[in-house]
Structure 1
């Protein structure tokens, strides 16, 4: 059974929240794949992870690089995981992977201000629950902190 976390972005954009969650994943020793919906988004996230903080950066790469298998964080549009990640982040409406059960954790991040994104997240919740996975729903409060709602 895979733990599936749904993060409902309300008051902060993905670009503000994703680096912090990725930092926590790497601190736990996890390899991560971030699946985005387009090559342009992969490029934007690649740039973001190098520049999101003046004090640090997150070591990472994209699936276009020869050393993709060595990356602690791999950004891709593909359903595979060249770096052998146990954790997968899905952004921009990326679909649940066919091999959900092979991950320790999936993290779906969706824009709560986009009705289509909310509808897709609800569909993915039903799909993950129907597959027997443990689902948890987190929503941002007014100051941007995460509150467990389900």
Structure 2
């Protein structure tokens, strides 16, 4: 059974956190679905992942003919392709069933945005009430520290 890891971003730029998590998942050979709520915002992430030189992460936008071949698939809706991990940004929804079926689920939220904080709290409550395992990580002094954990019910 997987776990949802909530990342409360307060110090690093979101694209840095995304790149770090995706790089680690890619190094493990995991396929990742990166899910957002807005197509324009996913275009923005698409450009950041192209990077250049050593910073390129192989990826594609959902809806193309090669979705099944993409190691990282950027989308605004749950996909149909099998993946080991889901990375949720900007309040994209994740279900307890997805968490149970994946190696890892990351839910990133902006700690300076009150609406994002409230949405993350609502997600935490709903997912843990449904029996999903979850951990809450906060940025402190440039490091990630686990602040809370909820096991399956």
Could you say whether these structures have the same fold, taking a TM-score greater than 0.5 normalized by the shorter chain as the test?
A: yes
Say whether the 8 Å CA contact 2:95–2:127 is kept in structure 1.
Answer: no
User: Residue 55 of structure 2: SS of its match in structure 1?
Assistant: coil
Q: Aligned-residue CA RMSD in angstroms?
A: 1.5
Deviations 1:69-88 (A, max 9, x none): 11010000011243x11200
Q: Which runs of no fewer than 5 residues in structure 2 stay unpaired?
A: 149-153
Give the C-alpha shift of residue 127 in structure 1. 1.3
Q: Name the CA distance, whole Å, in 2 between partners of 1:27 and 1:114.
A: 31
Say whether the 8 Å CA contact 2:96–2:132 is kept in structure 1.
Answer: no
Q: Name the CA distance, whole Å, in 1 between partners of 2:105 and 2:134.
A: 9
Say whether the 8 Å CA contact 1:33–1:81 is kept in structure 2.
Answer: no
Q: Name the CA distance, whole Å, in 1 between partners of 2:124 and 2:130.
A: 10
Q: Name the CA distance, whole Å, in 2 between partners of 1:3 and 1:97.
A: 11
Q: Which runs of 4+ in 1 moved over 4 A?
A: none
Q: Name the CA distance, whole Å, in 1 between partners of 2:95 and 2:130.
A: 12
TM-score normalised to structure 2 length: 0.89
Look up the match of 1:20.
20
Look up the match of 2:83.
85
Q: Name the CA distance, whole Å, in 1 between partners of 2:13 and 2:42.
A: 16
Between Structure 1 and Structure 2, how many residues are aligned?
A: 147
